[in-house]
Amino acid sequence: MAANPGFPLVLDVKSWTVLVIGGDEEASDKTQRLLESGARVTVVSPTLNETLRGLAASAKVIHRGRHFRDSDLEHAILVLNTLRGDRDFARALLAKAKEKGVLVWSVDFPEASSVTMPAVAASGHARVAISTSGVAPALSGFMKEDLERILDPEFAAFVDWLGELREQAKANEPDAEKRRALLREALDGFRLLGKVQYPKVWLERKKT
């Protein structure tokens, strides 16, 4: 199975326009995550769920109550298409977005997307992105749940402490190599330990 793993990076969308196509739960989830990241969100959909209606009413997002038009791509750097089941639309959207130099993600259609949307396990300032390159997205969701149990509130506090230590070192130690040594010493003994537990159907398959 050929799948392009892509080039992983984090996109800073703060103050940039991002277009969300659709008005259901998927669209509201992506919209809320974009708002948390500081993006300026425009939602294009004839109908909205309750969450999106509230965001539109409070002017936290711009709502265009109609179907997508090519002109909606103007000024956007990213498009999140949450419409399921319409492969032809997803492919046409990708082609138009490429013409405009806009990144696009379409739910359920990785072949009609120029970016992938990893599952993200979050704990305080820490983020762990998980991707199977679109091959097994359900697995990414399971891994996210397990990682969020491991990366508990104590881990978030640990990350905060490391950040404070780094700032103190920058303020008090002019030598860069000594600063790095101090931070490495603070991490001495840290390990993220775990073991994969495979499902029964996979273990039985291995026996055959």
Alpha-carbon gap, residue 128 to 118, rounded angstroms: 9
Contact 56, 63 (CB under 8 A): yes
- Structural domain contains residue 122: no
Within this chain, do residues 107 and 161 fall inside the same structural domain, yes or no?
Answer: no
Say how many C-beta atoms besides its own lie within 10 A of residue 128's C-beta. Answer: 17
Backbone angles phi, psi at 97, to 5 degrees: -65, -40
Per-residue pLDDT tens for 151-177? 999 999 999 999 999 999 999 999 999
* Among candidate residues 68, 75, 67, the one with its CA nearest the CA of residue 94: 68
Q: Report how many domains make up the chain.
A: 2
Verify that 151 and 189 share a domain, yes or no.
yes
163 and 94 share a domain?
no
Residue 81 in any domain: the answer is: yes
On whether residue 133 sits in a domain, the answer given is: no
Q: Are residues 159 and 90 in the same domain?
A: no
Mean pLDDT taken over the chain: 93
CATH number of 60's domain: 3.40.50.720
Does residue 99 sit in the same domain as residue 29? Answer: yes
Residue 149 has pLDDT above 80, yes or no: yes
Residues 23 and 113 reside in one and the same domain = yes
Rounded CA separation 144/150 (Å): 10
Asked if 41 and 109 sit in the same domain, the reply is yes
The answer to whether residue 148 is domain-embedded is yes
* Interval 8-45: pLDDT, tens: 888 999 999 999 999 999 999 999 999 999 999 999 99
Burial of residue 109 (number of CB atoms within 10 Å: 0-12, 13-18, 19+): buried
Domain that holds residue 191: 140-208
Query: Is residue 11 included in any domain, yes or no?
Result: no
First to last CA, the chain: 21
pTM higher than 0.85, yes or no?
Answer: no
**Which of 31, 67, 73, 30 is closest to 47 using CA atoms?**
67
Q: Does one domain contain both 153 and 110?
A: no
Tokens representing residue 204 in the block:
């039985």
